[in-house]
Structure 1
Amino acid sequence: MAQNNSAFSDSSVHVDVKDYYGKRLQKTADLKTGACIAPAQPLPAFIRDALKKVHPEVTARYYGCGLVVPECLEGCRILDLGSGSGRDCYMLSSLVGEKGHVTGIDMTEAQLELARKYMDYHMKEFGYKEPNVRFVQGYIEALVEAGLEKNSFDIIISNCVVNLSPDKKKVLEEAYSVLKDGGEVYFSDIYCNGRLTEEIKSHKVLWGECLGGALWWKDLLQLAEQVGFSQPRLVTASIPTIDDKELQDLLGDFKFVSATYRLFKVPRGNTKSCKVMYNGGITGAEDVFQFDCHYTFKANEAVEVDGEAASILTHSRFAEDFTFQPPGGSCEPCNKPKVSVLLHTSDCYDCVVLS
């Protein structure tokens, strides 16, 4: 039988990451930096409640750099890129409900074994008759090859994993492929204020700690555009801690940030700016909905949004949560959006990282 030369195979980076997360790290305390554990924002009560139901062993083997719980999850089909021990998958399982579904994909068998070990435990904890979670072994650069269908997911999340891939563009291309029209990639990752040196990128510990593979944030903007996504919209950002003196010396003057972005698979450049009014009622954001660092919507207040934001709100799962008015419409009074200190995504990043 002829060999299938198109099958995705391990690179040296994948082998090193498998070793780091499958063998070297046994618990969160084994990490040498805070890059993989820095929380991006306080946890809302309903998320804290969901996390309390996750088995302690699953939580102990969790490594992430932010909060990857977008809004409007009930009934959604979600994919977790690099699901690890399954903590985020099980948390989301309780939030999407029995009619929703969560798929986790990971290349590390040791992590998958742990995640699958507690499937029955969590379904019983959530009161579900049938599992609404599955775990798939595969690569985030080869989602279709792993058996995931194109145009099949409403939301893709990832928590400090994309930086571990040697081919970030391929990750985004595959994510775009399996995402439904109007779908969203909501992910936390580590970014840098410049392109890293080969010495840093080839350092196994720095790569395993989510620093050696960190993208220059401007490269993320370029890659997202090339793949077809909307412009990345920054949600939150925080500074990770790097206390190890040896690693600090290797990193030199480079600065890092843990940032959560949202990308949407929606039409680009076809929607004009308009006024929108948040109808309220989203779980956890009943009165105030922080969409990103540009826009914070208060229930029943009209806000003028730019064309790209209008396209996202019109074509995504958020459409039914907003009332739309064309420019000059009767939706008054119109308040300017509540904005962070600086207006652009890049400025928000600079404000956090370079100050």
Structure 2
Amino acid sequence: MNAALLTSACSKGFVDGKIHVDVKDYYGKKLKSSADLQTNACMSPAKPVPAFIRQALKKVHPNVSDRYYGCGLVVPEVLEGCRILDLGSGSGRDCYMLSQLVGEKGHVTGLDMTEDQLKVARTYVDYHMKEFGYKEPNVSFVQGYIEALTDAGLEKNSFDIIISNCVVNLSPDKRRVLAEAYAVLKDGGELYFSDIYSSARLTEEVKNHKVLWGECLGGALWWEDLLQLAEEMGFSPPRLVTASVVTVDNKELQDILGDFKFISVTYRLFKVSKGNTKPCQVIYNGTITGAEKSFQFDCQHTFKAGEVVEVDGEVATILTQSRFREDFTFQPPGGSCEPCAVKPKGRHELARKPALASRQCRTRSGNEQVPMHKSRRPSAEMKADSDWL
């Protein structure tokens, strides 16, 4: 993004604040490789990486991969031909991996505010297109802010999928991030993102610590607040995919954090129409690449090919209105889940299912099975509860 466009973006109401300056300095100048990170917040994926994704990652230039600072796994399914936006794309590792999965007819846009990171990403466009055997680039990089996507020139209703890898927590205005993401997604589109969440709302001391913010801890959202923000912005209730414990392993920073605990979580949010849908019987067709035998939609739902499964109205709405529609057969034959006159659920009931899912979710951290949290008690009690993780 040139200086004129940056000025234009600011004039439309977005201001590059102190936190943005600090984050750009941290990721652009202080971090030269993943070895420079001071905590373990940026960690390995919470579930095994499929072979075809590992193969795609092997084709990414080492200079790009070495400056990767993400957390979790941000590779949703059914990507061929899709238009994808990567929020906080950094050096472009995920963009180049996704470039192979969307194919030449798809497109990946990486957005980042840090010039040094974008310089690395743009340097290797031609290298990767040649490596992938593409005649024309299907990847582009834009300088801008995740709170101001339309100001950066991204069109509304233009992306099938938005991914984000340990970046939303770096923003001081997460409400605006979700609002902008909702605006540029197509109807039926998905926000699929990994981020760091805290066991309670953080203190001002933690939030104002530059290193903790840069390490994705100081800006961590309390998981309960995400449920409310998602609904307010228009998204479907968050579907929890994976969760794993974040360890700090830095005594000085741990002393500042005190009793706060953190988790790395992958959620999926969909832009689907409101209103309730009847429960449906669905059959997974086994047509998703890498998930031919079974497809894990979220922590609660793993669909085996050819097996009849009844899903609730929330899941039925997502499956019938999103890109997954062609991968399922809906019963009765020839039909889909039709809207019905059911009294709308309140906010707490809508939020209840992701909370229940996260209680049931178990992910591996070494040899230990880890529950995300045990209850919906007030934050003060939760912060003091050593069993939260």
Q: In which range does the TM-score fall when normalised by the shorter chain? A: over 0.9
The reply to whether residue 151 of structure 1 matches residue 157 of structure 2 is yes
Provide the residue aligned with 2:180 in structure 1.
Answer: 174
Checking the alignment, whether the CA contact within 8 Å between 1:233 and 1:292 is kept in structure 2 is yes
| Structure 1 residue 15 displacement after superposition | 0.3
CA separation in 2, counterparts of 1:262 and 1:17? 25
In 1: Cα distance, 2:114 partner to 2:11 partner: 22
Report how many aligned residue pairs link the two structures. Answer: 340
Q: Is 1:38–1:238's contact at 8 Å kept on the other side of the alignment?
A: no
Post-superposition CA distance 1:127-177 (Å, at most 9, x none)? 000000000000000000000000000000000000000000100000000
Among 81, 89, 98, the alignment partner of 1:92 is 98
Aligned to 1:16: 22
2:253 aligned counterpart, secondary structure: helix
Q: Which deviates more, 3-12 or 258-267?
A: 3-12
Determine if contact 2:12/2:151 at 8 Å carries over to the other structure. Answer: no
CA distance in 2, matches of 1:183, 1:33: 33
Asked whether the equivalents of residues 113 and 144 of structure 2 are also in contact (C-alpha less than 8 Å), the reply is yes
Pairing 1:211-226 to 2, within 5 Å after superposition? 211-226=217-232
Equivalent of 1:352 in 372, 375, 387: 372
CA drift at 1:39: 1.8
Which amino acid counterpart does residue 286 of structure 1 have in structure 2? E
State the match for 1:49 in structure 2. Answer: 55
CA offsets, 1:15-45, max 9 Å, x none? 0000000000000010011111332211100
Deviation per CA, 1:163-198: give whole Å up to 9, x if none. Answer: 000000100000000000000000000001110000
User: What secondary structure sits across from 1:34 in the alignment?
Assistant: coil
Q: Following the alignment from structure 2 to structure 1, what is the Cα–Cα distance between the partners of residues 91 and 172?
A: 22
User: What corresponds to 2:262 in structure 1?
Assistant: 256
Q: 1:348 Cα shift? A: 4.2
Distance 1:69 1:39 in 2: 11
Q: Which moved more, 1:179-188 or 1:32-41?
A: 32-41
**CA distance in structure 1 between the partners assigned to 2:172 and 2:254 by the alignment:** 22
Give, in angstroms, the shift of residue 268 of structure 1: 2.5
Secondary structure of the 1:172 match is helix
Which of residues 166, 179, 188 in structure 1 aligns to 2:194?
188
Computed over aligned residues only, the root mean square deviation of the Cα atoms, in angstroms, reads 1.6
Query: 1:62-81: per-residue Cα shift (whole Å, max 9, x none)?
Result: 00011100000000000000
Q: Is the 8 A contact 2:237 2:354 kept in 1?
A: no
Q: Do structure 1's residue 297 and structure 2's residue 306 form an aligned pair?
A: no
Looking at structure 1, the residues matched to 332 and 311 of structure 2 have their Cα atoms a distance apart, in angstroms, of: 11
How big is each residue's C-alpha offset from its partner over 1:265-291, in whole Å with a ceiling of 9 and x where there is no partner?
001333111111101120010110000
Query: Residue 290 of structure 2 aligns to a residue in which SS?
Result: coil
| 2: CA distance, partners of 1:84 / 1:105 | 8
Aligned to 2:120: 114
One of 243, 255, 264 as aligned partner of 1:237: 243
2:300–2:357 Cα contact (<8 Å) kept: no
Which residue, 124, 138, 146 being the options, matches 2:130? 124
Among 297, 303, 314, the alignment partner of 2:320 is 314
1:144–1:150 CA contact under 8 A, matched in 2? yes
| CA drift at 1:326 | 5.2
The one-letter code matched in structure 2 to 1:260 is T
SS at match of 2:105: coil
Aligned-pair identity (%): 75
Give the TM-score taking structure 2 as reference length: 0.85
CA distance in 2, matches of 1:112, 1:228: 31
Under a length normalisation based on structure 1, what TM-score does the superposition of the two structures give? 0.93
Q: Determine the C-alpha separation between the residues in 2 that align with 1:250 and 1:38.
A: 24
In the aligned structure 1, how far is the partner of 2:237 from the partner of 2:244? Answer: 20
Alpha-carbon shift at residue 349 of structure 1 (Å): 3.5
Are residue 207 (structure 1) and residue 213 (structure 2) matched? yes
Contact 1:32 1:244 in 2 (8 A): yes
Query: Do the aligned partners of 1:269 and 1:307 also contact (CA within 8 Å) in 2?
Result: no
- The residue aligned with 2:79 is 73
Q: Which consecutive unaligned segments of at least 5 residues does structure 2 have?
A: 1-6, 336-351, 360-370, 374-387
CA distance in 2, matches of 1:247, 1:305: 44
> Does the Cα contact within 8 Å between 2:159 and 2:186 map onto a contact in 1?
yes
Correspondence 1:140 to 2:140: no
Letter in 2 for 1:274: C
Separation of aligned partners in 2, 1:9 and 1:129 = 39
- Measured in 2, the distance between the counterparts of 1:44 and 1:38 equals 14
SS at match of 2:320: helix
In the alignment, the residues of structure 2 paired with residue 31 and residue 346 of structure 1 have an alpha-carbon distance, to the nearest angstrom, of 31
**Worse-superposed segment, 8-17 or 84-93:** 8-17
CA distance in 1, matches of 2:275, 2:303: 23
CA contact (8 A) 1:103 1:133 kept: yes
Q: Does structure 1 conserve the Cα–Cα contact (< 8 Å) formed by 2:39 and 2:250? A: yes
Gaps of 5+ in 1: 330-342
**DSSP-derived class of the 1:239 partner:** strand
Residue pair 1:93, 1:133 contacting (<8 A) in 2 also: yes
Q: Map Cα deviations across residues 40-99 of structure 1 (whole Å, 9 max, x no partner).
A: 211100000000000001000000011100000000000000000000000000100000
User: Does the 8 Å CA contact 1:54/1:122 hold for their aligned counterparts?
Assistant: yes
Q: Structure 2: which amino acid aligns with 1:109?
A: E
